[in-house]
Amino acid sequence: MTETLLSVRDLKVSYQVGKGSIDAVDGASFDVPRGSIVGLVGESGCGKTTVARALTRVIADNASITGGQILFDGQDIAALPEREMNALRWRDIAFIPQSAMNSLDPVYTVEYQLNEVLRRRGGLGRRQARARCEELFEMVGIEAGRLGDYPHQFSGGMRQRVAIALALALNPKLVIADEPVTALDVIVQRQILDQLRELQSMLGISVILVTHDISVVAYVCDRTVVMYAGRIAEAGPMDAVLMEPSHPYTMGLRNAFPDLKGAASGVLTPIEGAPPNLAFPPPGCRFAPRCPFAVETCTTQQPALGMVAPDHRVSCHRADEAAKLRQEAARTETWLADA
Amino acid sequence: MLDTTLPRPGFVARFFRSLRLPLNDPFAVAGLAIYAIFILTAIFADAIAPYDPTEILYTPNYDLAADLRPGEDGFILGTTSLGRDIFSQIVYGTRSALLIGLTAAFMVALIGSIVGLVSGYFGGWVDALLMRLADVAFGIPFLPFVIVLAAFLEPSIWNVVIAMALVLWRDTGRVIRSQVLTLRSRSYVDAARVSGSSDFKIILRHIAPNILPLSFLYGSIAIGWAILTEASISFLGFGDPQSISWGYMLQDAFASQALAKQAYYWFVPPGVCIILVVSAGFFITRGYENLLFPKLGR
Amino acid sequence: MRLAVSKPPKPLVSVKDAQLHYRVGSAFSAMRGHSSVVKAVDGVTFEIQKGESVGLLGESGCGKTSMGRLLLKLEEATGGEIEFAGDALSGLKGPALKRYRAKAQLIFQNPFEAVNPRFTIRATLAEPLENAGIPAAEREGRIIEALELVRLPQPQQYLDRYPHQLSGGQLQRVVMARALILQPDFVVADEPVSMLDVSVRAGVLNVFRDVRDRLNLTAIYISHDLALVRYVCERTIVMYLGRIMEDGPTEDIVHEPLHPYTKALVAAVPVPHPDQSHDPLPIGRGAPDPRNPPSGCVFRDRCPLAFDRCAKEAPALRPAGSRKVACHLF
């Protein structure tokens, strides 16, 4: 588990908007160990999807990677020529989008689309491709008899399974899944997550799971990276980050989530305010305006991503007081007083 | 009905804003400019035209001023075989063309919008009835219908307007209905219903403002149609001989064998005017298309 | 937490065998016998006492939203009877319907869709007041009052803004304010936080709970998320393919679900803890198909415990301890 497959170093992605530019991702660093599922969590607009897309280098026309490195198997793919990057996509790095309907062409059968990938990109012959299609469908739990169906003939959950099969077609080393279960009902969501976990351990691949739901992270991930306003707030082993959060934002997220197994009388506590406008980010820590523990340094100085425990990094000026802050953060009044 | 306590921009300003004139499209601006010129010409026709368009004119030598070439004896565009001033006919022709075009467009847009709103919003048997009527209207061949109508009624430029109002609402109505169907399923329409707003109020406040640009689009198409139709009817000889229109001029030129006489000054100007007004209408339409359906990406 | 009254008074809302059947396919295919009927709501019966909060729980397509629309008379039931304070909804017309509209309100799923983008917040909130005939002079005060009720700080600053100038959480509070401005008795909330960011969800849910208690509202909370339903409702009705599977106190359903479907639903909810069960769900794969439900019990094709009788006979909703269950095993 210690060997690193992907290492993102100080990644910056900017969007050109009119004459100005917005740094949607501003210096993100994290690692993906081989054979692990890493959850990339955050609210809408925090840059998690931009990071995920930057890793495949399929980003919007007005966006560009303006700094940092993406070391995949030791090779910096941020600097790779487009032609070589294209060869890497799907074969080594595959993508599962949020809505499978968007990645499947409605006018072709599923088998045709799988074949396209297997024969064009994978160089398989007709026989081999057919066998691989059946194998893939068996892997994701759909009968091979449905290979000839069109995307609209599948239910939402089935379509997501097809999208997983499509992503796994060429045995990638890394799969990036962007909110793969957000649009699904709880039961289907659970079945897809079980499938993903099973395939991941069976094939020994690494998965980056982009989500806004820390319950999903708690269910399947080995590691967690929490993003806020384009930066990494906290990153580390999943249970350490969720059970002993060291960044006030992670503590706040924990309070805001309903827990079905918890006490009935528990009160949910919102984080007051809204994420900053990235065109005019606040100086210092970006969470400071909403943070109940902010001190003067927080509003002037940008915190660095520092180690609080082996393999557990946090970007907070008061990270060394984390234990004390956790106790205070558990009280609802802490979050209301500063509103 | 409207909340009077709240400050609102003036009605006229709001109306124009909701029309969303496509002022950033160069073609649409050109179209609007052409319309502006013709509208001004029509309004000030009496001041611009040197003669009455139906008056038979004579030269200073008391000869009939027939078939004079442009510039001869001070006639800007020359005269017809019957001694009428072509330039004055063009100027007055603008008046009838625009009168027909605008009234027909107004009727088509109004009837079509009402049909579309009622049909789309209420659905059920009202919708079924109106849409079957539209199907019937789609089955009517337009030009023969106008000719039959003109044969039954007194010859008049208004026949075209009546015929268009009776038949051409079908396209507008259909398109607006489908737009209303999607608007109707928006949550804010449900919200208005739950708030106790009447159907009439919901249509007026929440739905109609959103279809206004579409009605205007179909209105501007109808202007061109009306002018072309009137020209065709007049050219075929079913027009009103008492009122001068561009189509009547073409028919007059044709009957007097202007082509054989090589009197281009007679039939080219009305032809150009028709083309200008009709294409101006389509330029504006184009601008609206970019506005309403930005994904066409032209 | 309110306790169940031993001898229930007259219910505020009473639904008896409600049905909402759609015919799908054109009139032409109907002539050829090709059209099918989708039973969005099929024989649903329940009562709600005044002041009670009930969660309507189920997956997409289970009929929970259709049930909500029936209760608000946004849709006309094709069978059965729905009564509000003793009056049948099917008979409401004209002024009586207008009075009902003032008493029963809806909070929408997507706040950005629920308000007309051309209207300012002031105009949005004025609409129900106009319809109720509140004099113009009083409206401004009522609007401010409603916005304060949903805890939007310094409400004046929002009045002249347009919806796109507000955040999702702020706009959802405006939508709530619009629903509450006429002081209704009954509110249906249709997944009101599913489109909101996690950090603001809790705020909106807290306002909902708070307002409900303060105004003694009767509420229906429609959701697919049992954790959220548990946070706001003391009673839960579980629906599947247009029918009620289980109906009872939320805590009982969470801790000891009876119906096989409810069991799967409860087990499927992920929790924000690392230590949780990863056992496979006790439910078959596949998705419910509303056009073609199985015979007998609609859940039997995915039920791990189904037996012969389930295919032959649809189970009735019968009392079982603290709740009602529609399953042949109880």
The enclosing domain of B189 has a CATH number of 1.10.3720.10
CA angle B207, B209, B211 (to 5 degrees): 75
Residue B40 scores a pLDDT above 50: yes
Domain, as residue range, for B211? 30-54+88-297
Number of C-alpha atoms within 13 angstroms, CB side, residue B28?
Answer: 18
* Complex-level ipTM beyond the 0.90 threshold: no
User: According to the model, what pLDDT value does residue B6 have?
Assistant: 42
Give the sign of the dihedral formed by CA A230, CA A233, CA A239, CA A245: negative
List chains touching B (3+ CB pairs under 8 A).
C
- Nearest CA-CA distance, residue A231 and chain C, Å: 17
User: According to the model, what pLDDT value does residue A71 have?
Assistant: 93
Suggest the residue from C152, C198, C259, C299 to mutate for an interface test with chain A (most A CBs closer than 10 A): C198
The reply to whether residue B191 touches residue C102, judged by beta carbons under 8 angstroms, is no
Suggest the residue from A153, A184, A187, A290 to mutate for an interface test with chain C (most C CBs closer than 10 A): A187
Residue B7 is assigned to a structural domain of this protein: no
Helices (H), strands (E): how many in chain B? 13, 0
Edge-to-edge strand list for the sheet holding C13-24:
C36-48, C13-24, C79-84, C87-88
User: According to the model, what pLDDT value does residue C32 have?
Assistant: 58
Suggest the residue from B3, B182, B183, B194 to mutate for an interface test with chain C (most C CBs closer than 10 A): B194
Are B217 and B289 in contact by the 8 Å Cβ rule? The answer is yes
* C310-315 long-range Cβ contacts below 8 angstroms, 24+ apart: C314/C243
User: According to the model, what pLDDT value does residue A145 have?
Assistant: 87
Contacts of A335 in chain C (CB under 8 A): none
Strand partners, C105: C187
pLDDT in tens, C204-226: 999 999 999 999 999 999 998 89
Q: d(Cα A122, Cα A124) in Å, to the nearest integer?
A: 6
User: According to the model, what pLDDT value does residue C34 have?
Assistant: 57
List Cβ neighbours of C317 (8 Å cut-off, separation of 6 or more): C45, C244, C247, C324, C325, C326
Structure tokens at B200: 């009439």
Residue B63 is assigned to a structural domain of this protein: no
pLDDT in tens, A209-262: 999 999 999 999 999 999 999 999 999 999 999 999 999 999 998 888 888 877
Residue B292 is assigned to a structural domain of this protein: yes
Residue B202 is assigned to a structural domain of this protein: yes
Are A172 and A3 in contact by the 8 Å Cβ rule? The answer is no
Q: d(Cα C314, Cα C296) in Å, to the nearest integer?
A: 4
Are C186 and C164 in contact by the 8 Å Cβ rule? The answer is no
Residue B76 is assigned to a structural domain of this protein: no
What integer is the mean pLDDT of A280-289?
90
Where residue B133 falls (left for φ over 0; alpha for ψ -120 to 50; beta otherwise) is alpha
Residue B70 is assigned to a structural domain of this protein: no
Q: d(Cα C161, Cα B177) in Å, to the nearest integer?
A: 31
User: What's the whole-model pTM score?
Assistant: 0.83
Under the banding of pLDDT at 50, 70 and 90, the label for residue B3 is very low
**Least confidently predicted of A252-256, B217-221, C238-242, C244-248:** B217-221
Touch C-B: 3+ C-beta pairs under 8 A: yes
Question: Which residue is it, tokens 């990276």?
Answer: A225
Residue B214 scores a pLDDT above 90: no
User: Pick from C59, C200, C272: which is nearest to A215 by CB?
Assistant: C272
pLDDT in tens, A44-53: 888 899 999 9
C265-297 as b/e, with b when 16 or more CB fall inside 10 Å?
Answer: bbbbbbbbbbebeeeebebeeebbebeebbebb
What average pLDDT is seen over chain B? Answer: 82
Residue A114 scores a pLDDT above 80: yes
Quick check: C281 contacting B, CB < 8 Å?
Answer: no
Q: d(Cα A105, Cα A109) in Å, to the nearest integer?
A: 8
Q: d(Cα C233, Cα C249) in Å, to the nearest integer?
A: 9
Structure tokens at A154: 């599948």
Structure tokens at C136: 């113009």
Burial of A277 (0-12, 13-18, 19+ CB in 10 A): exposed
Give the sign of the dihedral formed by CA C63, CA C67, CA C70, CA C72: negative
User: Pick from A186, A190, A274: which is nearest to C167 by CB?
Assistant: A274
What integer is the mean pLDDT of C143-153?
92
- Compute and round to an integer the Cα radius of gyration of chain A: 21
Are C177 and C114 in contact by the 8 Å Cβ rule? The answer is no
User: According to the model, what pLDDT value does residue B5 have?
Assistant: 42
Residue B153 is assigned to a structural domain of this protein: yes
User: According to the model, what pLDDT value does residue A265 have?
Assistant: 67
Say how many domains are in chain B.
Answer: 1
Residue B288 is assigned to a structural domain of this protein: yes
User: According to the model, what pLDDT value does residue C280 have?
Assistant: 85
**What is the C-alpha end-to-end distance of chain C, expressed in Å?**
28
Quick check: C264 contacting A, CB < 8 Å?
Answer: yes
**Least confidently predicted of A182-191, B68-77, B90-99:** B68-77
Structure tokens at C259: 């119906």
Residue C25 scores a pLDDT above 70: no
User: According to the model, what pLDDT value does residue C253 have?
Assistant: 93
